[in-house]
Amino acid sequence: MRVLLAVDGSECSEAAISEVAARVWPAGTEIRVITALELPLTPTSETWALPPDYFDKLDQAVREHGEAIKEGAIRKLAKCSVPPTRITGNILPGSPKAVILEEAERWDADLIVLGSHGYGLWQRFLLGSVSQAVVSHARCSVEVVRLRHRAVAGEKKAA
């Protein structure tokens, strides 16, 4: 079995890692951890006002952050009680939606696992939902992991 685990360093992503780590996978299971790198937009329209090395430093910082996220997930998965046969990781440039779908197809994944940020209607409209796009367009099974404590916390406030 081939499991593609998409991570971004968020609390929701950590829940997805924990979910994958808690399972007993069939013999021969491979898990590939991926992180999508999308450079932020230029903070000003006058690119001449930026220092000459601005984009190099930004790229380096984003890559280092992505590497830390990927390596942290791999370490956590390697510690699970019955580790998968093989755990690998990639940092891929581009929009998370496209990166996840393209890598799943290229790698021939059997399952994609990712966290849900639990955005409301307005946030999904403005930001787009990565999990919704993956569920809608993936050619394999998809598991979206949600944070349980948010629902419990919300219920306690309402009471």
Q: What are phi and psi of 133, to 5 degrees?
A: -65, -40
CATH number at residue 89: 3.40.50.620
Strand partners, 34: 6, 90
Domain total of the chain: 1
Rounded Cα distance between 109 and 88, Å, is 13
Q: Please give the pLDDT value at position 47.
A: 56
Percent of the chain exceeding pLDDT 70 equals 77
What is the model's pTM?
A: 0.82
Q: What is the pLDDT of residues 64-100, one digit of tens each?
A: 999 999 999 999 999 886 767 799 999 999 999 999 9
Q: What is the pLDDT of residues 29-58, one digit of tens each?
A: 999 999 998 876 655 565 566 777 877 888
Structural domain including 20 reads 2-158
